[in-house]
C-alpha cells in the first residue's frame, strides 16, 4: 500500500475527531498507549521543573507524563525475536503530535518492515533535551524490558515469549541527547544496530562516533541549512576525512534509494525546514526500507 493511500485513510479517520489514538490507527495495526515506570519521566533532576531562558516548565505540567506509545503493524510476524525502532522527539512536543504530525506509523506500515515502533514521552511540550531515566546507566535496558512486558501483557502477542532483536534509535532535534547517553552507557550495545539523527547532531558527537567505531552499525545524519546542526555535521565530516574514514555525503535531492544500502556512515543535506525532515520527503520510510530490518510477509 502506498504512503499516500495510508495518509488519506488516516486523515479520514481523524476527521471523526472523537476516536482515540488506538482507534485512529486500528486499520494499520495495533497501537498500545501505556504508562511505564521506566519511562523517561518523572525524574529527580526535573522534580523542581526546568527553566530555559526566561521560560519555566513546571514538573507537574512537563515532567510527570510516563506515556509510551507502542505500535505493531498489521501482518507483523513474531518468530521469537522482535526488532524495534525507538523514536525520541524534540522540543515542545508530545506523543500524540509526534505520531500524527510526523506520520511515523504510516511510514512504518508503508515501508513493509517487520518491526515494532516505540515512542516514549520526553519532556512534554518543553524546551528541553533531557532524556530522564533513559540517560541513567542501565535506564534504556530497563525501559526495553518493560516495553517487552507491555507487549506480552496487552497486545496480540500476549503470553508469547520472545527476545529483543535489533534496535534502531531514531531521534529528531533535541532527541539527540538521550540517544547519545544510551550509546555512551552501552545499554543493549549488542542490539543497537542503527542510529538515525533527523536534524539532531547538535552535540554528543564523540559518543555517536565512538558507538560507530565500536559497533560498525549504520549512522545517518540528515541535516538542514538553518536547523542548527550544519556546523557540527561539517566538523564531523572534516574529522572523518582527516582520519581516512569512508562515508557518504550527499544532497537529498541527489540521493537514490540504492545509495543507502551499503554505506555505514551517511550525511544527507536537505533543503527542507527543521520540522519537515522526518515526513515531508518520507525520510523515515526510506531509512526503514534501506535498513537491516526484515520484511513483513
CATH number of the domain encompassing residue 129: 3.40.50.1820
* CA pair distance 297, 208, nearest whole angstrom: 33
Question: Per residue in 3-38, pLDDT tens?
Answer: 444 444 444 444 443 368 899 999 999 999 999 999
pLDDT of residue 13: 41
Q: Whole domain around residue 52: which residue ranges?
A: 3-289
Is residue 193 in a domain? yes
pLDDT of residue 154: 74
Ranges of residues in the chain with a pLDDT under 50 are 1-18
pLDDT of residue 19: 62
Is residue 10 in a domain? yes
Q: Could you give the number of structural domains in the chain?
A: 1
Question: Per residue in 183-197, pLDDT tens?
Answer: 999 989 899 999 999
Is residue 48 in a domain? yes
Beta strands 29-35 and 163-172: pairing type? unpaired
Best CA proximity match to 198, nearest among 135, 111, 285, 136: 285
Is residue 296 in a domain? no
pLDDT of residue 8: 43
Helices 176-185 and 139-154, axial angle in degrees (round to 10): 100
Torsion of CA 124, 125, 128, 133, to 10 degrees: 10
195 touches 183 (CB < 8 A): yes
Is residue 188 in a domain? yes
Is residue 297 in a domain? no
Is residue 294 in a domain? no
* CA pair distance 13, 7, nearest whole angstrom: 10
Is residue 156 in a domain? yes
Amino acid at each position: 500500500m502506498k504512503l499516500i493511500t495510508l495518509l488519506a485513510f488516516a486523515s479520514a479517520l481523524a476527521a471523526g475527531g472523537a476516536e482515540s489514538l488506538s482507534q485512529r490507527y486500528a486499520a494499520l495495526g495495533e497501537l498500545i498507549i501505556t504508562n511505564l515506570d521506566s519511562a523517561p519521566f518523572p525524574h529527580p533532576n526535573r522534580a523542581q521543573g526546568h527553566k530555559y531562558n526566561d521560560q519555566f516548565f513546571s514538573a507537574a505540567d512537563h515532567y510527570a507524563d510516563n506515556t509510551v506509545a507502542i505500535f505493531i503493524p498489521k501482518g507483523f510476524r513474531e518468530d521469537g525475536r522482535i526488532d524495534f525502532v525507538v523514536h525520541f522527539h524534540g522540543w515542545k512536543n508530545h506523543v500524540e503530535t509526534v505520531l500524527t504530525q510526523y506520520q511515523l506509523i504510516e511510514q512504518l506500515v508503508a515501508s513493509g518492515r517487520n518491526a515494532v515502533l516505540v515512542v516514549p514521552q520526553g519532556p512534554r511540550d518543553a524546551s528541553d533535551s533531557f532524556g530522564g531515566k533513559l540517560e541513567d546507566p542501565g535506564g534504556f535496558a530497563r525501559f526495553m524490558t518493560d516495553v517487552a512486558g507491555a507487549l506480552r501483557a496487552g497486545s496480540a502477542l500476549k503470553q508469547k515469549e520472545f527476545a529483543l532483536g535489533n534496535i534502531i534509535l531514531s531521534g529528531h532535534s533535541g532527541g539527540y541527547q538521550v540517544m547519545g547517553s544510551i550509546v555512551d552507557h552501552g545499554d543493549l550495545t549488542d542490539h543497537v544496530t542503527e542510529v538515525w539523527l533527523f536534524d539532531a547532531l547538535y552535540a554528543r558527537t564523540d559518543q555517536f562516533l565512538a558507538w560507530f567505531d565500536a559497533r560498525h552499525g549504520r549512522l545517518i545524519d540528515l541535516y538542514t541549512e538553518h536547523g542548527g546542526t550544519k556546523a557540527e555535521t561539517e566538523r564531523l565530516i572534516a574529522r572523518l576525512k582527516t582520519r581516512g574514514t569512508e562515508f557518504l555525503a550527499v544532497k537529498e535531492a541527489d540521493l537514490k534509494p540504492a545509495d543507502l544500502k551499503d554505506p555505514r556512515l551517511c550525511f544527507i543535506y536537505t533543503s527542507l525546514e527543521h520540522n519537515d525532515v522526518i515526513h515531508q520527503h518520507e525520510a523515515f520510510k526510506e531509512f526503514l526500507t534501506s535498513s537491516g530490518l526484515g520484511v513483513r510477509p
